[in-house]
Amino acid sequence: MSNYNRNNIPRVKHWYDERVTNVFDDPRITAVGLLFEAHAGLSARFNAQLEEHGLSAVEFEVITRLARSPGNQLRMTDLAAQTSLSTSGVTRVVDRMERDGLLTRRACPNDRRSSYAVVTASGMQRLNETLPGHLQMIEQWFTGQLDPEALAALLDGLRRVRDAAHPCATAGSDDVSPEQVAATDNATRRH
Amino acid sequence: MSNYNRNNIPRVKHWYDERVTNVFDDPRITAVGLLFEAHAGLSARFNAQLEEHGLSAVEFEVITRLARSPGNQLRMTDLAAQTSLSTSGVTRVVDRMERDGLLTRRACPNDRRSSYAVVTASGMQRLNETLPGHLQMIEQWFTGQLDPEALAALLDGLRRVRDAAHPCATAGSDDVSPEQVAATDNATRRH
DNA sequence: GCCCAACGACTGCTTGAGCAACTATAACCG
DNA sequence: CGGTTATAGTTGCTCAAGCAGTCGTTGGGC
């Protein structure tokens, strides 16, 4: 370590003004803050709308992921891998949603250890009631805030960050090969 | 195909390919997924590094926000407004951090209802140990993933989404007038 | 000065999520 | 086959966080 970088803060790049008033007001922190606050803000908006339909964010994610899977079903483990939940978390969400009639468990014919979570007719109906409003919220607070080029740039940047940082979230899906999943999964999934 | 949009999903716009394979694979959902997965991925990376220094994400946010406030202190309520926590949540985080010697409570001289949370010397030291690695993580997984223009575009887009959707989070800070805070706060803060 | 509404912080209770331990099944291997 | 190991899911325990209710304090109206 030479002496052009006396403080032990990593060397800054040149995409921001170096004259910072306070060490803790680092532009990198601000950048992260921007992403996190955007996320928090959207979450809050979405939660409010989802709650009107009696769904929490995780329940909505679960039912959506099931609904777009073949047969409207997914094995518990695959569901856990696709969501931000642990397997025990999935057990409990499915418990609640089964109690509420949105989902059912179905035994897996080939493997008696596995069971599928399946969306019921009532669950599909709930989703159909919820989704239009949800898409509207997305347009209102997210995609509609930017013109097409800016949005494309934003999504492009997000995709790159996601690809770099995200510890995999598409197990059991058809658009990702299982080997690819197995390779990256479980390494950094949970802190 | 005359009846290709018989479901009640709102009509899609034109910044993406309209030929979707599945109603639930709407590009708007994908866009949100991108943002949320980027957030989740970064969170996981950051948490891992913070945990090495014995800090949770909220604790790090708390101590950072205190450290960049005048006097390394903030009233409990203002701290709550700046973080994603409720006031009772702040009470408990500060409890834990006080127990761990990172923070102290200090009575407010003018208002005996209020109390300040103050960073201790030990807390500042912990922060100084943690911060360099944290900034390095940000560069590694976020800002360093993109060239300057792409990053600027990303941040610009995020800023606009944040400004639209975020229900205020800078109370008690000097860069925002208190009236401005009071006006937007509490309206949509918590679901 | 007195009263009452507003405010700041704290506490009891509940909920949701993760980890670790456990059970049942499957796969592998000799 | 019989035994060992790995996998799928569930359950007990713990912990963090929010809501609602409480207590002390403040400040405005009279």
* Helical ranges in chain A per DSSP H: 27-52, 57-67, 76-82, 87-99, 121-141, 148-165, 178-184
Query: Is the pLDDT reported for residue B138 higher than 60?
Result: yes
Give the per-residue pLDDT at B25.
75
Check residues A16 and A33 and name the one with the higher pLDDT. A33
- Best of A13, A29, A39 to substitute, by most chain B Cβ atoms within 10 angstroms, is A39
Give the CB-side neighbour count of residue A187, counting CA atoms within 13 A.
13
A9, A132, A153 member nearest B154 (Cβ): A153
- Residue range B96-122, pLDDT digits in tens: 999 999 999 999 999 999 999 999 999
Tell me if B144 sits within 8 A of B156, measured CB to CB.
no
pLDDT grade, residue A24 (50/70/90)?
Answer: confident
- Report residue A115: phi and psi, to 5°: -145, 150
Task: Report angle CA A102, A106, A108 to the nearest 5 degrees.
Answer: 150
- Residue range A65-104, pLDDT digits in tens: 999 999 999 999 999 999 989 999 999 999 999 999 999 9
Chain B CA closest to residue A22? B68
Q: Which amino acid is at A73?
A: Q
Give the CB-side neighbour count of residue B139, counting CA atoms within 13 A.
15
Average pLDDT over residues A131-140: 96
* Cβ-based contacts under 8 A for chains A and B: 213
Three-state DSSP state, A73? strand
Distances in Å between the Cα of A141 and the Cα atoms of A146, A189, B112, B177 are 10, 29, 41, 25
What whole-number distance in Å separates Cα of residue A83 and Cα of residue A62? 7
A107 beta partners? A115
Chain-wide mean pLDDT for chain B?
A: 83
H or E stretch covering B28: helix B27-52
Reported for B153-159, long-range contacts at CB under 8 A and 24+ positions apart, including other chains, are: B153/A150, B153/A153, B153/A154, B153/A157, B154/A153, B154/A154, B154/A157, B154/A158, B154/A161, B155/A31, B155/A34, B156/A150, B157/A146, B157/A150, B157/A151, B157/A153, B157/A154, B157/A157, B158/A34, B158/A35, B158/A38, B158/A154, B159/A34
| CATH code assigned to A28-141 | 1.10.10.10
Closest-CA distance, B91 to chain A, in angstroms, reads 21
Please name the residues in contact with B54: beta carbons below 8 A apart, sequence gap of 6 or more: B100, B126
Contact B165 A135 (CB under 8 A): no
In chain B, residues with a C-beta closer than 8 Å to the C-beta of A139 are 13, 28
Give the per-residue pLDDT at B9.
45
Chain A CA closest to residue B163? A38
Q: Which amino acid is at A147?
A: D
In chain A, residues with a C-beta closer than 8 Å to the C-beta of B81 are none
Whole-number distance in Å between A164 CA and C21 C1' = 34
Three-state DSSP state, B56? coil
Query: Is the pLDDT reported for residue B176 higher than 90?
Result: no
What is the percent of chain B with per-residue pLDDT over 90, rounded to a whole number? Answer: 71
pLDDT grade, residue B22 (50/70/90)?
Answer: low
A183 touches B: beta carbon within 8 Å: no
pLDDT grade, residue B14 (50/70/90)?
Answer: low
pTM of the entire predicted model:
0.81
What is the SS3 assignment for B111-176?
CCCCEEEEECHHHHHHHHHHHHHHHHHHHHHCHHHCCHHHHHHHHHHHHHHHHHHCCCCCCCCCCC
